[in-house]
Structure 1
Amino acid sequence: MEYITVDEKNIEKEHICCCIADKKGENCVSSKKAWMKENLPDGLVFLKADVRGKVFIEYMPAENAWYPIDAPGYMHINCFWISGQHKGKGYANELLDQCIEDAKAKGKCGITIIASEKKRSYLPDPDYMKYKGFTAADTASPYFVLYYLPFSDTAPVPKFKGCATSGTIEEKGMVLYYTNQCPHTAKYVPLIQDTARQHGTTVTVHKLETARQAQEAPTPFTTYSFYYDGEFITNEIFGEKKFEKFLHAHGL
């Protein structure tokens, strides 16, 4: 399999795998590519298979990652996705191996990734990560796990920052934290805001615009975290039907 690294030279012509199935996703594509352009100088790598589908890994130095983690010297995997007909063909192993080789070549002490104790939507498969040698370094409520793969016995153990471990926030009502790291937020965040207004209520939205803001956020999964009355609800991006169901369940 041939792999392509999306960089400053080819980003305009290369498709972004995670948007490929969304026929109405121009805003999704533009928001994601704008985020990538901003972060490429900080070491962002987007490596994808030369196929029409979701076969890619995205990673960057943990010090620059948009997550509240303390992992000096590590490379952090933002997103790792193999879907549909491309599963079971060894592409995940090849992508992860290239990430590991790149991290070692750049003098990193290991790899980190955020998942959970079991498979959940929008998070990597923890069973696969453990199969590849990753172990749990730290946890954050209600279900997030920071996994790591150290390259030596002397590598420091990474951890979540204290601001993001409780699973709660002080704000009441519906509150959403998100970034444009995931392209689909550009489409679905306005959708739930409009739906909430139709129900006579509101969603307080905090868009994290910089890596520093994300690193100081109260949620361990800054890509998308939805809270209600101070309690974490989900990292799964709400579509209209699921959000309507949530509103109905809470009498909103």
Structure 2
Amino acid sequence: MADEFLDLTADNLANEHLCCIIRTRRPHPGVEAKRVWLADRLNEGHVFRKLDERAAVFIEYAPLESAWVPVMGDNYLYLYCLWVLGSSYRGRGYGSRLMESCLADAEEQGRSGVCMLGARRQKAWLSDQRFARGHGFATVDETETGYELLAYSLDGTVPRFSPAAKVGTIASEDLTVYYDDQCPYIHQSIELVRARCAAARAPVALVHVETLEQSKALPCPFNNYAVFYRGRLETVNLLDSRSLDRLIGAS
């Protein structure tokens, strides 16, 4: 129905579109990888709530204890993504309704609040932090690499980045990408990096994060993807051709 939202469940996951990549009717490797990833997350309290039509209008969040991010805290929800894309959908209050549904879930579950990853400068692949601040989120922790943890606290407590997440460096000088299967676009970014680095004979390490424990121990902020080069955290944005070429100097 128009203007109605639905949650993905074990019963409808196989048939519902996943919002981000909606242009193709053929099976998409990134979408199918996310379906598998989600199937294992739903019984952990992970929520994927979407507009009940073929649109990129959705929110995704999970209990912080089981969220694949190096953030520590008691009794919080972690907000991975909130997107309303397309001129047909913006300005209709969908973003506020989705955010308010998440905050209401936190309150009904007796949670301490909701947190999310932000940055001193808005990053392309992170949800709009100005929008979040308008709903009561505030910076509660930050890293020297320019990332912030935003939180909406219901009881005065706040979460923190893990000590490892604040390191922001690794021993390897090679291009290193940490990634999981949560975002459907990750597959094509990883394949681009793999092919372009091979063509440029540039060494690269593609580190597939496959467990909660791995994600909690990562040496950087992480929402589902993080890039290091010459031992330093560069970005949590998914690499495209232009940004990759700027890093490795490929032609």
**TM-score bin (small chain):** over 0.9
Aligned to 1:43: 45
Distance 1:193 1:24 in 2: 23
Is it true that 1:56 corresponds to 2:95 in the alignment? no
Distance 2:19 2:196 in 1: 28
- Cα deviation per residue 1:89-131 (whole Å; 9 max; x = unaligned)? 1101100111111122222111111111232200121211111
Is it true that 1:67 corresponds to 2:69 in the alignment? yes
State the 1:24 CA deviation.
6.9
Larger deviation: 161-170 or 28-37?
161-170
Distance 2:9 2:59 in 1: 14
Aligned to 2:84: 82
Is it true that 1:141 corresponds to 2:168 in the alignment? no
- Cα deviation per residue 1:44-76 (whole Å; 9 max; x = unaligned)? 000001232211000010010000101210011
Q: Which residue type is aligned with residue 103 of structure 1?
A: A
Aligned to 2:160: 159
Distance 1:231 1:167 in 2: 6
State the 1:181 CA deviation.
1.1
State the TM-score, normalizing by the size of structure 2.
0.93
Q: Is the 8 A contact 1:32 1:183 kept in 2?
A: yes
Aligned to 2:106: 103
State the 1:222 CA deviation.
4.6
Q: Is the 8 A contact 1:115 1:146 kept in 2?
A: yes
Q: How does 1:1-252 map to 2 (within 5 A)?
A: 1-21=3-23, 26-85=28-87, 86-153=89-156, 156-248=157-249
Q: Is the 8 A contact 1:25 1:187 kept in 2?
A: no
State the 1:159 CA deviation.
0.3
Distance 2:55 2:130 in 1: 23
Corresponding residue SS for 1:237: coil
Corresponding residue SS for 1:17: coil
Count residues in correspondence.
248
Larger deviation: 82-91 or 20-29?
20-29
Distance 1:126 1:27 in 2: 29
Q: Which residue type is aligned with residue 133 of structure 2?
A: K
State the TM-score, normalizing by the size of structure 1.
0.93
Identity %: 28
Corresponding residue SS for 1:46: strand
Distance 1:123 1:22 in 2: 24
Corresponding residue SS for 1:20: coil
Distance 2:26 2:234 in 1: 27
State the 1:30 CA deviation.
0.3
Q: Which residue type is aligned with residue 117 of structure 1?
A: R
Distance 1:157 1:6 in 2: 29
State the 1:246 CA deviation.
3.0
Larger deviation: 207-216 or 230-239?
230-239
Structure 1 pair 233/23, CA: closer, same or farther in 2 (3 Å)?
farther
